[in-house]
Structure formats: structure tokens, C-alpha cells
């Protein structure tokens, strides 16, 4: 192959695409991120809260979006679609078509004047039509890019030129361009990542739901917007009529999922159970009244970290759950009210009715027709559920080499797995084109910085009018003159638009010319503009931390429109405060840490080997530590994937490649004994005495199979270890591998699910057992179609595409009998010493007795006993159930809170092999992001200790969420590891001795700012003087 291209095309700007773009751009590739809408953000930007942490979705996502929008190596192409792809892996030519925005993004400052004046209102699709927006609009307030767009279907001018044009008149920057036209262009990339997401199922086709006809029936996405504080009802829980508050809400599960007859979707949409529970919980929180919430479901699928506990809490808090089949939703007769009658049959088969004010349809997900077309144009295969096809052992590769996929484009999946996929797809891209790393990226060069230590403060203040956004309310000239009177200020000026290119250049020039050494810009929010101005300081040759912003737009002129005098005085206060603070600022070093280009991988199972190979194949040396005598881990007992692919040949190949790889040093029979250092420069001692220097670490230590030991766990024993015909799933797989013939003679087999899972001490679902058990049952049926197979289960967790084997099992006559936690099946021996199993059948409402030849136990996966110790060595946390805890459950699923340490596989949570592989690749991609550079940037605004004041009480060490502060062993004073400190300041607030401070955000700086507020306003210009 010729040298590959160093760029990557990412299609789709939802969470998966954004994650992929950021990972790629940060590890040395140039990214074209193509998004069909006017802003990136995808479905996640529409969500209110995310389960199971109840994190605010926008809050956690927005920083990533902003980073994506600002990244030097991400080219954001919005309103665009991929037309055609030619060429081959390593060198594709991509044709892109971009629709016109009609607003010049270089000029638009998102002031919103256009939208305010625009006379045309249309349904706002971001709120699913529950609210209105204008024809010129911002997709949502935190949109990236933060640029308005004209909806050509709605715009009056575009339809009949000359009839409107209100936006042109009010736009302060002449950004409106009605002449904008569609563009087509080509780019060259080495690989392509499809992150095209899903669309919610449209329930209008399902008559029985009443959707579209009964106003009280809404989809879950619509309800999500109703819950959102930025949604159509500002988060006030209201019925769609906008008036009454609902007292009773029902959620109907599996609308458009697990339904071949009516919805043509056999698969499970995976996310709906949890989002429905979350919505019920959040709705109850929002309601100040007693809200009655009911979820109508077939199985509650809580098969991921923290889900079962969340479900259990929801039940305790009063959310009602009904195992049922919904018959229909009907309007109440008008004389009885305007409610909705829900008719459903319960588990006992009886038809029941219940009245609700609102019915939320938990709609499933599907692939949109555009994506199906795109797949056709790209020549990537779809599976029969019409998702992009990939295989369990190669989970993010499409059928076309060089094109990878991630997220819900592959299968219905929640945010964390989409993020994992994204990083895994990045890894595949890297494996393909890593030779071209840094070949197409851009880098910004800055002049050397002036040493300002000996200079007295020379502060420059730039006051922005932001067109009329600030200027129409705040008297910026007056603020500017006032600023000139402040101590330390040597220069002040107003700008029409401080962020315009010419103003930026003028600011830089003024800094140089006037020898400014501190700068205050009074304009908009530092959240969006601080990086831009800080860069300007660097371009002008001074340290970027000698800067402070006064937010006189978002937090002043925009919120005090009716009181210009007060707004002006407030602006003066804010400028005075900023000046007082920046006076005390010192230049801070741009911290970076040199990287030892080697990785330590702990655990020699599939996760560990996959990660090790992924890094070694890119040329990074890897030390693989395995505590046992051989590689392979838990997969050695796994016969097939859920779909039936053989695992052993795959595993064999993996072991061969790992042990033979020149870049991998194997440490078998070794344990990690001591770890020191931090990201970029770890030093680890193994039990063998070997010492390893490495820049990153990946923990992939697997999990164990549950064995009942305690008295409390005795009920889970089911004769296992006591009778040879009681086996667990691993042992049955072993029998399949060793002597399948022996299995074909069995007459009756009983599987018991959830042995040890989803109950008191292990309140979590072990995720992989349902699919594995059903796959085994199907294999048994294949060996002997006459075999009687019973599955005793609580909820079947065949999420996503796995649902198809559940359906097959039912078709093949496997009998499913449900049991409850309070009536567990019991196994005992009959008079002949044969196993008998008693269970209560809920449908028949009677006790039945089974006489299996083989009893198979789907036992829980449990954390390894030593995983806690290991995580402590790396200063990582463990969650309540004993599995290792990632940095953030939604957005950082393979990172630990400790920088430079990653996790993959079963040590994180039970999961099937395909997810372990994806996670291992993701961990390798995240680790590679560090190894790809010579230095990793670190936070500059860090804690800093005054040793003369420190009394060594250790409170800082105690509270630091990052373990960045330690007491020095010798002199008992606190020491901050700058490479680890994130600058939160919790230690500063906790220190009684004022011995630890946050650089530029210490007590001194903040107190100067506070005290400046209350100083006299020496208002030198009275209103009369001015007029």
C-alpha cells in the first residue's frame, strides 16, 4: 500500500461521531466531521437527564461539543452529506454535498437579533414540534457551531424575494447571505467512520397506541423535551395541551421493538427500559404533586452498570411496574373526563383497564432511510435488522475495508457503548493509517513570551458593543472611560465586535504597542470566547493567563434590557472586578509532561491481549502482565458468541499473535506490586522483581464466576459441586467442546437464570448469561430436537440484536417459565438420587416439578477478589458492586479518573466478548492518544503549596478527588503533583491555614475581585455630563 492519507472522515455529529473526531484529532489525524444538520450534538443534545447517574445531558456533553467546534484539526462540515466514496482503504476520495446555510458563519455572532425579528414561525423539530421556532434559527442554545441558519422551506424571502428580509436589516454584521448556494467538494481521507446514529421509531403506524390521534399520547423523545428545562414547557411537567398537570402517567414499553408483526422490528432497542424508568423517576422529581407512574413492560432490561440498582430504587420510590401486554389506548368517554383508558392483559392473562392523563410511548430506534441509502452508496452491507453489519469478533468493522462504524448505526445502544465503539473505530483507523500520523494535522506557532515579572501592571481593557447586543443596553463608552480611571489600567477601548478578525488583530497590536501585560475583555462569556482571546495574548507575545473576561452580555445586557442605567453600572462593577483580579494574575507555565512511550497491560485475557496487540501493532512497546501461567482468560471456557461464531480459533489466533509479537513483552505468573508516577511516566514493579517504565496502563483483569460460599448464598447453590449433573454455563461450554455427543442423549435440560445476580448482595444483571444460555439451549436443540428444555428466568436480557435468538428459542419449543425473587426455583434430589426442580409457573398459577438430566446454572459474574487492591495501586475507584469504576459512566467509559489509566473487559462490568473486544480497542485508542505524543498537556491552573504555612494536617490529601496532593514523607508538608491536579480548588477551600492556593484563583485573587465590587464607584461621569 502507498503511504496512507492522514485524514479521516467521520460521518455524523452525535456523541459517537464527536468522540471519534476528538480522539482522532488528539492522536495525530486531521478529521472532517460531516453532519447533516446545522449543528452537531445529535440525539444526546435533546435529552434531559442521562441514566443511571441522572447527569444533565447537555451539561456533560456541551464541553465536548465546544472542543470539537474549536479543534484546530477538526473540520466541521454541517448541513452536509456524503455523496460518493471511491478509492480504497488508506486512500479514499469522498464527495460531499453541503446545503446552503444562508448565514455567513464567519460573520454571525449568534446575537439572535435576526431570529427575534423574523416574522415566520414554524414547528421546532428540536422539540419534536412541541414548540415553535423562527425561519432563521439556532438549532439549540448550546449549538456548535453557534451560528444561525435559515430554513429555506420556511423563509419568506427565499420563497418570494423582496417580501421580507427582516433579518438582513437587523443583522449587525451583515452575515445574512440569501445568495448562498449548495456546494459540492471532494476530500481525501485514509479511513471513514460512520457514526450515523438512529432515528426514533414513528408510532403513528401503530393504531393501538392512539398516537397522533389522542393528544395525551406522546413519544418518549417528546416527553424528554417536556422534562428538559430548555424544552417547550421549561421543564414544567404538563400535558401536551400545555395546561393541566398530569396526575397519572403510563409508559408503554417496546413500541416499535421486539415486534415483528406490527413494527417489523424483531430486535430489542436496548435503551428504552432504562430511559422509561429514568423518565418516571425524573417526572416524579419534577412534579410537586403526587405523581402516579406506571411502566407497562414485557421484560425489564436492566443489563448494565448501575441499572438494576436504579430500577430497584425506582420501585422503592413508588414507580409501578406491570408485566403485561398492552391491548389499546382509548379516549375516555367525554362525560367521564379527558383521560386515556389503557387496556392491557396482565401476566395472568386477564384483561384490565386503567385510566391515565398521559401515555408515553417508549419508542424504539431504527435506521433512517437516508442512512440506508448512504450505506448503499458506500457499498457497506446491512444486516437483516437494517443496521450496519459487523461481526461479534470484529465489532466496529463494516463489510468494506477501511470503513468503520460505531454507535447506534450498528445496533441499538446507549451512550457509553456508543462512546466505546467510537474509540474502537478510531483504533481501527489508526491501525490502518498510523504511518500517516501527524502528516496532515495543523499546529499553531506562537512567538516567545515577554517576561513581565519586573513590570508594574499595565492593564488594557477592551469593551465590546457586540453590535447592539451590548451597546443598545450598556453605555459602552461610559464603561470604557470608567475603565481608564481604574488603578493599573493604561489603555481602554471599545470594539464593535471584539471577536471579529480585525478586532482580534487590533487587540494583539495594541498589546505589543502599548506594552500591555494584563488584558481584560468585557464582552460575552468566557465559556465560548476565553480561548480565542487567550490565543490573541499568546500571538501578541504575553502569557495567556494574564487575561480576564467580564461577561457584560450574557450576564448583563441580555438580562437587564429594561434598565440601561443599572446594566451600565453593573458592567462597570464587572470591569472593576475583572481589573482587580487580573492585576494579581501571574504568568503560568503551559504544563506538559514528557511521555514514556510504552504501555503496561494488566490481564492476559481477550481484553488484555486485544489492547496489547492494538498498541503493539502501532509500534508502541507493550508489557503484558498476566497473573496465571498462560494467556486466554475467561474466553478459554467460551465456545461461541451469541450469534454462533466459534471463539476458540479466534482465541488461539489471538494468543499466538500476542505471544509471538516482537513489541509485546510477556510477564506470565506475575502480579503488579507497586505503582508510582502518573500519566506519561509511570513506574511499576512486578512481583517478579521486574520494573517497568510506562506512559499509560490498561487494566483488564477480568471477572470470576460466582460460587456460593456464604450461608446467605446457600440458596444459589442448586446442587452445584454436589451433583455431577448440576453445571454452570462455563462447564456446559466445556462439555460442548469436549464431548458434544454425550449431550445429545439428554432428554430434559433445565436452565436457571440469574443465579446470584440481581439480588441483594449483587444487585446487578450479569448481562451475558441470558444470551449465552439461550445459545447453548439452541445448540442442544440442534443436537437433539426432541430434547425438552426449560428456562427458568426472571427477565430475559437478550438486548439489541440478541433478541433474535430468544425468538428462535421460543420458536423451537424451548419453554420459558418465569420466577420471582420471592419464589426461587428449588433443586433437590429424588429417591433415586436424580435432580428434581420445583418452580411456580406464573401463567398456569401452579407449582410444577421438573426432572432434568442436566441442570444448568446461569451464575453471576463477580469481581475478582484482588481487583480492589490493583485499582488502589493505580488510585482508581471501585463501584459499590466491586467492579472497577470508570471516570464517567456515560462519556468516559474506558478511562479511569486517574489520567493515563484505562480499563477494559469484565473487570469493568460483565459483558459479552464482542463488547469486551470493542472496549479493549477503545482503551487502546485512548491510551494511544497519549503514546502518540511526546508530551501530554496538563492543567496550568493547579494547586500550589506554601510550605512555610503548611502544617501537614493532610486535609488536602483527604479531599482531593484526583489523589493529586500528598504529604511529603520527610518534611510532612503537602506536595501537589501538577501532572495530576485538575485545578478544582477543593483542597484550597478545605485548608484552614491558607497554605494551598490555586494559581490565579487563590484567596487573594478572588478576594480582590470581591472587594473591588464593594469599593466606591467613583463614577467620574454623571448622567448629566454625558447628555
Nearer to another protein, 119 or 1018 (CB): 1018
Can you tell me the distance from the alpha carbon of 76 to that of 744, in angstroms, rounded to the nearest whole number?
A: 58
User: Is 531 a binder of another protein (CB under 8 A)?
Assistant: no
Distance from C-alpha of 228 to C-alpha of 236, rounded to nearest angstrom? 8
Q: Is 381 in the site for another protein (CB under 8 A)?
A: no
Where residue 615 falls (left for φ over 0; alpha for ψ -120 to 50; beta otherwise) is alpha
Residues 185-214 that bind another protein (CB under 8 A): none
Q: Name which of residues 485 to 514 contact another protein (CB under 8 A).
A: none
The nearest distance, CB 400 to another protein, in angstroms, is 39
Instruction: Answer yes or no whether residue 384 interacts with another protein by CB under 8 A.
Output: no
Beta carbons within 8 Å of 381's beta carbon, 6+ residues apart: 375, 388, 389, 398, 399
Question: Contact between 136 and another protein (CB under 8 A)?
Answer: no
Report in angstroms how near the CB of residue 972 gets to another protein at its nearest: 7
In whole angstroms, the minimum distance from the beta carbon of 112 to another protein comes to 7
Q: How many CB atoms lie within 10 A of CB 970?
A: 6
Q: How far is the CB of 19 from another protein (least distance, A)?
A: 18
Minimum distance of another protein from residue 459's CB (angstroms): 18
Among 972, 1020, 1021, 1026, binds another protein (CB under 8 A): 972
567: contact with another protein by CB under 8 A: yes
Contact residue for another protein among 370, 513, 563, 869 (CB under 8 A): 563
CA distance 675 to 664: 20
Q: Which of 190, 339, 526, 603 binds another protein (CB under 8 A)?
A: 526
Q: Which 414-433 positions form the footprint of another protein (CB under 8 A)? A: none
Minimum separation from the CB atom of position 543 to another protein (A): 19
* Plot region of 436 (φ>0 → left; ψ -120 to 50 → alpha; else → beta): alpha
Residue count, binding to another protein (CB under 8 A): 82
Q: Does 234 bind another protein (CB under 8 A)?
A: yes
Quote the least distance from Cβ 993 to another protein, whole Å.
4
CA distance 653 to 174: 62
Give the Cα separation of 814 and 750 in Å (integer): 10
Q: Please tell me whether residue 242 binds another protein under the rule CB under 8 A.
A: no
Distance separating alpha carbons of residues 363 and 530, to the nearest angstrom? 41
**Site membership for another protein, residue 320 (CB under 8 A):** no
Residue written as grid cell 421509531 = 201
Phi-psi domain of 862 (left: phi exceeds 0; alpha: psi -120 through 50; beta: other): beta
Question: Minimal distance in Å, beta carbon 237 to another protein?
Answer: 14
**Stretch near another protein under the rule CB under 8 A, chosen from 90-98, 241-249, 489-497, 943-951:** 943-951
Choice from 23, 37, 55, 308 touching another protein (CB under 8 A)? 55
Grid cell for residue 610:
486485544
648 lies in the site for another protein, by CB under 8 A:
no
Nearer to another protein, 11 or 473 (CB): 473
Site for another protein in 571-630 (CB under 8 A): 573-574, 577
Cβ atoms of 191 and 89 within 8 Å: the answer is yes
1020 touches another protein by CB under 8 A: no
d(CA 301, CA 267): 13
Buried-state track 338-358, b at ≥16 Cβ within 10 A, e below 16: ebbbbebeeeeeeeeebebbb
Question: Can residue 551 be called a binding residue for another protein (CB under 8 A)?
Answer: yes
Options 614, 727, 962, 996; binder of another protein; rule CB under 8 A: 962
User: In angstroms, rounded to a whole number, what is the distance separating the alpha carbons of residues 510 and 515?
Assistant: 8
Select 56 or 815, whichever has its Cβ closest to another protein: 56
Q: Which cell numbers in the block locate residue 999?
A: 494559581
Could you give the count of Cα atoms lying within 13 Å of 638 in the half-sphere of its Cβ? 28
Taking the complex as a whole, the smallest distance from the CB of residue 1001 to another protein amounts, in Å, to 7
Rounded to an integer, what distance in angstroms lies between the CA atom of residue 401 and that of residue 384?
A: 20
Comparison of 224 and 539: residue with beta carbon closer to another protein: 224
Q: Which residues pair with 674 in a beta bridge?
A: 685
Element (H, E) at 332: none
Instruction: State the CB neighbour count (10 A cutoff) for residue 471.
Output: 18
Which span sits near another protein by CB under 8 A: 564-572, 715-723, 743-751, 837-845? Answer: 564-572
Site for another protein in 61-80 (CB under 8 A): 62-63
Q: Is 666 in the site for another protein (CB under 8 A)?
A: no
Neighbours of 493 (CB within 10 A): 17
Task: Candidates 261, 288, 454, 948: give the one binding another protein (CB under 8 A).
Answer: 948
State the nearest-atom distance from the C-beta of 186 to another protein, in Å: 37
Please give the Cα distance from 610 to 613 (Å, whole number).
5
Among residues 16, 988, 996, 999, the one that binds another protein under rule CB under 8 A: 988
Contact between 941 and another protein by CB under 8 A: the answer reads yes
Q: Dihedral through CA 282, CA 283, CA 286, CA 287, nearest 10?
A: -150
Q: Which is nearer to another protein, 39 or 217 (CB)?
A: 39
Contact flag: residue 554 with another protein (CB under 8 A): yes
The residue range among 458-466, 655-663, 694-702, 1010-1018 that interacts with another protein, by the rule CB under 8 A, is 1010-1018
**CA-based torsion, 699, 705, 707, 708: positive or negative:** positive
Selected from 714, 741, 1016, 1025, the binder of another protein by CB under 8 A is: 1016
> Interface with another protein by CB under 8 A: which range of 129-137, 408-416, 550-558, 759-767?
550-558
C-alpha cell of 708? 456460593
Q: What does the chain come to in residues?
A: 1027
C-beta closer to another protein: residue 124 or 771: 124
* Nearer to another protein among residue 948 and residue 1027 (C-beta): 948
Q: Does 558 bind another protein (CB under 8 A)?
A: yes
Q: How many CA atoms lie within 13 A of 365 on its CB side?
A: 26
Binding another protein by CB under 8 A: which of 347, 513, 830, 994?
A: 994
Query: What are residue 978's phi and psi, to 5 degrees?
Result: -65, -25
Q: Is 479 in the site for another protein (CB under 8 A)?
A: no
Cell of 961: 478527588
User: Does the CA dihedral 281-127-175-473 come out positive or negative?
Assistant: negative
Distance CA 557, CA 475 (A): 10
- Binder of another protein out of 553, 640, 775, 818 (CB under 8 A): 553
803 neighbors 811 (Cβ within 8 angstroms): no
Whichever of 741 and 969 has its CB closer to another protein, that residue is 969
> Number of helices (H) and strands (E), helices first, in the chain?
26, 51
In contact, 837 and 815? CB cutoff 8 Å = no
Please report the beta strands in 243-373, taking only residues with DSSP state E, as ranges in sequence order: 248-255, 292-297, 320-331, 340-346, 351-356, 358-363, 365-366
228 interacts with another protein by CB under 8 A: yes
**Contact set for another protein, span 893-932 (CB under 8 A):** 897
Q: Which of 1, 1013, 1023, 1026 binds another protein (CB under 8 A)?
A: 1013
Judged by DSSP in three states, 193 sits in strand
Q: List the interface residues with another protein, window 94-133 (CB under 8 A).
A: 112
> What's the closest the beta carbon of residue 144 comes to another protein, in angstroms?
13
Binder among 9, 15, 44, 58 for another protein (CB under 8 A): 58
Indicate the residue among 491 and 533 with the shorter CB distance to another protein: 533
Burial readout 214-235 (b: 16 or more C-beta within 10 A, e: otherwise) = bebbbbbbbbbbbbbebbbbeb
Q: Which stretch binds another protein (CB under 8 A): 54-62, 124-132, 167-175, 924-932?
A: 54-62
Among 351, 821, 951, 1023, binds another protein (CB under 8 A): 951
Among 782, 1017, 1020, 1026, indicate the residue that binds another protein (CB under 8 A): 1017
Amino acid at each position: 500500500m502507498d503511504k496512507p492519507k492522514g485524514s479521516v472522515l467521520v460521518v455524523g455529529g452525535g456523541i459517537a461521531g464527536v468522540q471519534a473526531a476528538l480522539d482522532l484529532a488528539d492522536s495525530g489525524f486531521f478529521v472532517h466531521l460531516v453532519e447533516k444538520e446545522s449543528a452537531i450534538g445529535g440525539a444526546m443534545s435533546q435529552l434531559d437527564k442521562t441514566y443511571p447517574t441522572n447527569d444533565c445531558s447537555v451539561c456533560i456533553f456541551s464541553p465536548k461539543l465546544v472542543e470539537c467546534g474549536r479543534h484546530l484539526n477538526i473540520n466541521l462540515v454541517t448541513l452536509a452529506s456524503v455523496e460518493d466514496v471511491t478509492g480504497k482503504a488508506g486512500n479514499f476520495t469522498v464527495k460531499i454535498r453541503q446545503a446552503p446555510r444562508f448565514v455567513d458563519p464567519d460573520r454571525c455572532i449568534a446575537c439572535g437579533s435576526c431570529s427575534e425579528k423574523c416574522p415566520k414561525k414554524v414547528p421546532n423539530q428540536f422539540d419534536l414540534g412541541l414548540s415553535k421556532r423562527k425561519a432563521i434559527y439556532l438549532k439549540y442554545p448550546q449549538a456548535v457551531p453557534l451560528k444561525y441558519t435559515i430554513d429555506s422551506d420556511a423563509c419568506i424571502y427565499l420563497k418570494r424575494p423582496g417580501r421580507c428580509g427582516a433579518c438582513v436589516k437587523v443583522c449587525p454584521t451583515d452575515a445574512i447571505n440569501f445568495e448562498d448556494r449548495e456546494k459540492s467538494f471532494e476530500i481525501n481521507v485514509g479511513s471513514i467512520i460512520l457514526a450515523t446514529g438512529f432515528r426514533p421509531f414513528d408510532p403513528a403506524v401503530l393504531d393501538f397506541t392512539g398516537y397522533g390521534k389522542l393528544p395525551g399520547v406522546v413519544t418518549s423523545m417528546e416527553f424528554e423535551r417536556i422534562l428538559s428545562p430548555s424544552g417547550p414547557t421549561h421543564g414544567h411537567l404538563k400535558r401536551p395541551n400545555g395546561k393541566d398537570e398530569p396526575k397519572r402517567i403510563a409508559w408503554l414499553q417496546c413500541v416499535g421493538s421486539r415486534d415483528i408483526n406490527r413494527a417489523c422490528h424483531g430486535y430489542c432497542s436496548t435503551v428504552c427500559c432504562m430511559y422509561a424508568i429514568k423518565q418516571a423517576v425524573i417526572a416524579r422529581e419534577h412534579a410537586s404533586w403526587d405523581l402516579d407512574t406506571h411502566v407497562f413492560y414485557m421484560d425489564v432490561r436492566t443489563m448494565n452498570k448501575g441499572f438494576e440498582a436504579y430500577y430497584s430504587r425506582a420501585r422503592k420510590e413508588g414507580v409501578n411496574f406491570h408485566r403485561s401486554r398492552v391491548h389499546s389506548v382509548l379516549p375516555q368517554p367525554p362525560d367521564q373526563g379527558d383521560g386515556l383508558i389503557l387496556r392491557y392483559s396482565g401476566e395472568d392473562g386477564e384483561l384490565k383497564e386503567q385510566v391515565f392523563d398521559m401515555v408515553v410511548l417508549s419508542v424504539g430506534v431504527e435506521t433512517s432511510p437516508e442512512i440506508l441509502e448512504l450505506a448503499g452508496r458506500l457499498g457497506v452491507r446491512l444486516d437483516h435488522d437494517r443496521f450496519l453489519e459487523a461481526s461479534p469478533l470484529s465489532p466496529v468493522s463494516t463489510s468494506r475495508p477501511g470503513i468503520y462504524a460505531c454507535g447506534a448505526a450498528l445496533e441499538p445502544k446507549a451512550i457509553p457503548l456508543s462512546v466505546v465503539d467510537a474509540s474502537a473505530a478510531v483504533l481501527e483507523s489508526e491501525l490502518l493509517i498510523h504511518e500517516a500520523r501527524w502528516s496532515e494535522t495543523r499546529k499553531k506557532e506562537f512567538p516567545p513570551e515577554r517576561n513581565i515579572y519586573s513590570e508594574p501592571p499595565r492593564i488594557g481593557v477592551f469593551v465590546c458593543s457586540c453590535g447592539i447586543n451590548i451597546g443598545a443596553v450598556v453605555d459602552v463608552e461610559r464603561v470604557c472611560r470608567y475603565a481608564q480611571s481604574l488603578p493599573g489600567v493604561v489603555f481602554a477601548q471599545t470594539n464593535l465586535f471584539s471577536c471579529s478578525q480585525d478586532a482580534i488583530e487590533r487587540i494583539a497590536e495594541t498589546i505589543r504597542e502599548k506594552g500591555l501585560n494584563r488584558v481584560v475583555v468585557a464582552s460575552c462569556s468566557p465559556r465560548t470566547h476565553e480561548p480565542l482571546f487567550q490565543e490573541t495574548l499568546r500571538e501578541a507575545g504575553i502569557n495567556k493567563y494574564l487575561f480576564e473576561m467580564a461577561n457584560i452580555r450574557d450576564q448583563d445586557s441580555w438580562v437587564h434590557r429594561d434598565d440601561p442605567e443599572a446594566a451600565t453600572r453593573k458592567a462597570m462593577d464587572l470591569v472593576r472586578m475583572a481589573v482587580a483580579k487580573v492585576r494579581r494574575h501571574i504568568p503560568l507555565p503551559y504544563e506538559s509532561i514528557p511521555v514514556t512511550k510504552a504501555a503496561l497491560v494488566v490481564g492476559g485475557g481477550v481484553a488484555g491481549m486485544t489492547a496489547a496487540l492494538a498498541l503493539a501493532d502501532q509500534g508502541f512497546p507493550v508489557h503484558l502482565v498476566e497473573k496465571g501461567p498462560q494467556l486466554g482468560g475467561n474466553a478459554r471456557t467460551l465456545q461461541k458468541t451469541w450469534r454462533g461464531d466459534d471463539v476458540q480459533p479466534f482465541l488461539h489466533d489471538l494468543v499466538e499473535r500476542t505471544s509471538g509479537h516482537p513489541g509485546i513483552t510477556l510477564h506470565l505468573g506475575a502480579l503488579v506490586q507497586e505503582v508510582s508516577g502518573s500519566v506519561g511516566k509511570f513506574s511499576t514493579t512486578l512481583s517478579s522483581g521486574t520494573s517497568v517504565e510506562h506512559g499509560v496502563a490498561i487494566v483488564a483483569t477480568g471477572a470470576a464466576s460466582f460460587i456460593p460460599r456464604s450461608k446467605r448464598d446457600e440458596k444459589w447453590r442448586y446442587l452445584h459441586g454436589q451433583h455431577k449433573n448440576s453445571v454452570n454455563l462455563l462447564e456446559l461450554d466445556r462439555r460442548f467442546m469436549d464431548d458434544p455427543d454425550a449431550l445429545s442423549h439428554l432428554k430434559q435440560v433445565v436452565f436457571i437464570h440469574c443465579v446470584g445476580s440481581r439480588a441483594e448482595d449483587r444487585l446487578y444483571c450479569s448481562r451475558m448469561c441470558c444470551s449465552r444460555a439461550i445459545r447453548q439451549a439452541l445448540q442442544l436443540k440442534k443436537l437433539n430436537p426432541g430434547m425438552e428444555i426449560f428456562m427458568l428466568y426472571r427477565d430475559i436480557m437478550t438486548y439489541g440484536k440478541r433478541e433474535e435468538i430468544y425468538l428462535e428459542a421460543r420458536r423451537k419449543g424451548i419453554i420459558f417459565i418465569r420466577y420471582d425473587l420471592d419464589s426461587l426455583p428449588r433443586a433437590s434430589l429424588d429417591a433415586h438420587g436424580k435432580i428434581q426442580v420445583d418452580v411456580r409457573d406464573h401463567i398456569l398459577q401452579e407449582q410444577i416439578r421438573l426432572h432434568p438430566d442436566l441442570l444448568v446454572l446461569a451464575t453471576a459474574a463477580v469481581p475478582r477478589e484482588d481487583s480492589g487492591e490493583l485499582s488502589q495501586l493505580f488510585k482508581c475507584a471501585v463501584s459499590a458492586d466491586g467492579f472497577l469504576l470508570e471516570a464517567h459512566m456515560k462519556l468516559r467509559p474506558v478511562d479511569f479518573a486517574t489520567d493515563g489509566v484505562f480499563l477494559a473487559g469484565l473487570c469493568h462490568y460483565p459483558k459479552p466478548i464482542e463488547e469486551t473486544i470493542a472496549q479493549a480497542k477503545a482503551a487502546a485508542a485512548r491510551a494511544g492518544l497519549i503514546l502518540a505524543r511526546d508530551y501530554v498537556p496538563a492543567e496550568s491552573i493547579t494547586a500550589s503549596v506554601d510550605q512555610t504555612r503548611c502544617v501537614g494536617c493532610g486535609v488536602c490529601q483527604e479531599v482531593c478527588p484526583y489523589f493529586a496532593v500528598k504529604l511529603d514523607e520527610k518534611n510532612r508538608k503537602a506536595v501537589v503533583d501538577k501532572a495530576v491536579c485538575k485545578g478544582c480548588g477543593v483542597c484550597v477551600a478545605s485548608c484552614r491555614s491558607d497554605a494551598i492556593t490555586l494559581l490565579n484563583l487563590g484567596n487573594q485573587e478572588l478576594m480582590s475581585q470581591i472587594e473591588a465590587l464593594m469599593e466606591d464607584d467613583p463614577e467620574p461621569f454623571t448622567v448629566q455630563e454625558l447628555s
